[in-house]
Structure 1
Amino acid sequence: MFARDRLSPGLLAVLSFLAAVGPFATDMYLASFTSIAADLGAAPSSVQLTLTAFLIGMGLGQLLLGPLSDQCGRRPVLVIALAVFAASSIAMVFAPNIAVFVALRAVQGISGSAGVVVSRAIAVDLTQGADAIRAISLIAMFVGLGPLLAPPVGGAILTLGDWRAVLATLAAIATAMFALALILVPESLPREHRTSSGVRTALRGFGKLLANRRFLLLSCVFGLGFGSMMAYISASPFVGQAVLGMPPLLYSLAFAAGAFAMILANLTNARLAGTVPATRMLLIGSGLSLAAGATLTTAALTDALSPPLFIVCAFALTGGTGLIMSNASALALSLAETSRGAGSALLGASQFAVGGLASPLVGAWGEHTALPMSLFVLTATTLGGIGALLYRRGA
């Protein structure tokens, strides 16, 4: 079953759903950490290791499955990997101890990475130019919404049941993803366009892309953009409620503002594709995120941070991140014409590498100051802005 150079709205919706698997599975069970530790008799650090195992699996899985999809085709890699993801998600509901839990999370991360890396490659296989930017914008919107929506969804389920109910919901989502991939996702990479098999071929593909300075810059900009948003997401419960004293409803509105900004940014980007150059939209996104980081840091240093200012900064940061991720990924994959799976893998690896650093770093100074979060956001957005400027100048 081959797609005939056409990305239908229905297929794009399916790919967007599949691409959200990583961020959603990362954050959906965060509110359950305390319950998991108590029920399994595990130390909090051991429960934290389940998140680390998943993130490492997501990073390594993309580096493995991206090139494999260049060699074997998109569909078989996606379907088999999502079958393993669904099976491991179901098994995780019945995990008897923390060691099994950690092992299953690693398997889940490796297999679930296919949803991110292969979906992005399929979208670019079937589009070009402005259409590619529109497709990547919509996929990036779902990827960005995952970390924003997963924690409150997981928290809501936890109020109705226990942590296993949260994992059962994730298992149901994983099973639906596998079914959609099996039934609706076609092959988008004809045999004549596939690379030769073997580890050396994959390594050469990675080496060629990393030797391309423009691709490398865009990968760094992409990862730094996602990392700045993850710093906000991981620290916002403490900053919003412990530092600023925001009641639950107001804090929920702050999170909703971020989700709305992500949707608005990507829909705007999709609408302007072909009219406004992707490079310019990338710079606009970098500017918005940098302004948010600078404002947060200044306010934290001067004790001027307030709930309204925090919400405005969250809106600017997540909106800017939406523009950064969609345009950086579209521009980067346009440079990886013969190895889009490998290119998508490197983008994903940069995303989870920087995003994985965000949570421990912003929490290193305790839970009663906004400064660690604001400094991480400022550093990431500054470096990302420099990378975007260097790319524009043709470095």
Structure 2
Amino acid sequence: MLVGMDIDHSPVQRPPTTPASRWKTLLLLGSLVAVGPLTTDMYLPALPSIAEDLHSGAAAAQLTLTAMLAGLALGQLVFGPLSDAIGRRVPLLVGVAVHILASVLCAFAPSFAVLDVLRVLQGLGAATSTVVTMAIVRDLYEGTAAATILSRLMLVLGTAPVLAPTIGGAVLTWSNWRGIFGLLAVVSAAVLVVTARALPETLPVERRRSGGLARSMRDYGTLLRDRVFIGLILLAGLGMSTIFAFVAGSPFVFQEHFGLKEQQFGAVFGLGSVRVVLATQLNVRLLRRRSPRVVLIAAICLAAAGGVLLLVLSVSGVGGFPGVLRPLWLVLFAIGFVLPNAPALALSRHGHMAGTAAALLGAVQFGIAAVTAPVVGFLGTGPAAMASVITGGPVIGLLVLGTLVRPRRPDSGLTTH
């Protein structure tokens, strides 16, 4: 770990003051956080063909998703504290460059073993754009304002899972799965150029945290002793696990079980993603009348109820394809309220170490998601397998809410937020 190094002395960005400048900042940050979802979702229509081309089954194909998520989780633990020590720009630009290199190499992977290793490297590169963007939001905003900005970021971020499978399906009409990774490299290169030109430093030198690895370990220890913080990041992780159970299971459920074509799958997947995006934008309006705490509690309860209905209909087969889609969309809609509010409440507790807090948050989110993907593959490729894991996230979330967060107790620190 670099110690006490003030690498970037570029002017520090202050919170934008005009609507135009705020939207410019949001679009720039949205393009950065979109790198991860694009890397995850663009190749989803190709998972069955990757399994066939590399002579393996669905579980092996889904492990490429796990590998990428593992890289995302590990990278955030490293780059979050690093961005607290040396500033946001340098780790961000290096990470996107690593992602470009890994994407190019993925396009030439000869086997699943090589592809898995390269997907870990891809995840490490994408981790910087994820964790550093979260830290930048905390540099500039806090509390309800941070939750609002995160909700607006979800609007930009949400276009990635909506468009990515459709784009991937379109690529497959003239190329194969290797062409998808080539396109990812081109997109990341464009993001790198725009970021290098338009994003200034947001962490002033006087707020940077020196001390190297020892200081990082102490900071992580402080965070891990905060029961409410741990509960909130677990809720964020369980919300992400629900999303990735859908991501990992839907290509096989929709294409192999229900017989959708690759392009049809992209459209249906996008409609599910729209529910998440719609919820994040309604969240902005709700925050004008209700606190993030209240919205978070209601969303987890709604997601759990929708998940139970999804599981019942999936196991029984009642309703067929529409019987799976409707409760699935309800769960995704509810999770759209969890994704901005749980992180915002968590990060508001430790603003002085925003990068490290965002790193632990991201590591938990993507670490849980990394475990989720192979669990779906292990249980099978039918609707019941996907529904079981999707339902597990919000149901366990209710337990976390009651045992760790305990939002109605004064010692939670959330009663007035």
The answer to whether the superposition gives a TM-score over 0.5 is: yes
Q: Matched residues, percent identical?
A: 34
- The correspondence of residues 286-365 of structure 1 with structure 2, limited to 5 A, is 286-365=300-379
- Shift in Å, 1:248: 7.2
Q: Is the 8 A contact 1:79 1:181 kept in 2?
A: yes
- How many Å separate the matches in 2 of 1:96 and 1:392? 50
Which ranges of structure 2 fall in alignment gaps of 5 or more residues? Answer: 1-10, 413-417
Q: Does 1:4 align with 2:19?
A: no
Other-structure match for 2:282: 268
- Shift in Å, 1:166: 1.0
Other-structure match for 1:381: 394
- How many Å separate the matches in 2 of 1:138 and 1:213? 28
- Shift in Å, 1:370: 2.1
Q: Match for 1:392 among 389, 397, 407?
A: 407
Q: Does 1:205 align with 2:219?
A: yes
**Residues 119, 330 of structure 1: CA spacing in aligned structure 2 closer, same or farther, 3 A cutoff?**
same
**Residues 196, 270 of structure 1: CA spacing in aligned structure 2 closer, same or farther, 3 A cutoff?**
same
- Shift in Å, 1:251: 5.3
Deviation per CA, 1:337-386, whole angstroms, max 9, x where unpaired?
A: 1111111111111111221222221222332x322222222221111133
**Residues 190, 228 of structure 1: CA spacing in aligned structure 2 closer, same or farther, 3 A cutoff?**
same
- How many Å separate the matches in 2 of 1:38 and 1:234? 17
Other-structure match for 1:126: 140
- Shift in Å, 1:245: 5.5
Deviation per CA, 1:71-112, whole angstroms, max 9, x where unpaired?
A: 111111111221222233234334466555443322221121
Q: Is the 8 A contact 2:165 2:269 kept in 1?
A: no
Other-structure match for 2:7: none
Q: Is the 8 A contact 1:86 1:178 kept in 2?
A: no
- Shift in Å, 1:36: 4.8
- How many Å separate the matches in 1 of 2:107 and 2:262? 29
- Shift in Å, 1:234: 2.0
Deviation per CA, 1:160-217, whole angstroms, max 9, x where unpaired?
A: 2122221111001110121122111111111111111311111111111111111101
Q: How many residues align?
A: 393
Other-structure match for 1:88: 102
Counterpart AA for 1:375: S
Other structure's SS at 1:359 match: helix
What TM-score do the two structures reach when normalised by structure 1? 0.90
Other structure's SS at 1:338 match: helix
Other structure's SS at 1:161 match: coil
Counterpart AA for 2:218: R
| Greater mean deviation of Cα atoms: 214-223 or 160-169 | 160-169
Other structure's SS at 1:5 match: coil
Q: Does 1:370 align with 2:379?
A: no
**Residues 271, 154 of structure 1: CA spacing in aligned structure 2 closer, same or farther, 3 A cutoff?**
same
| Greater mean deviation of Cα atoms: 68-77 or 233-242 | 233-242
Counterpart AA for 2:146: A
Other structure's SS at 2:324 match: helix
**Residues 125, 164 of structure 1: CA spacing in aligned structure 2 closer, same or farther, 3 A cutoff?**
same
| Greater mean deviation of Cα atoms: 92-101 or 145-154 | 92-101
Other structure's SS at 1:310 match: helix
- Shift in Å, 1:332: 0.7
Q: Match for 2:75 among 61, 65, 69?
A: 61
- How many Å separate the matches in 1 of 2:196 and 2:211? 24
Other-structure match for 1:239: 253
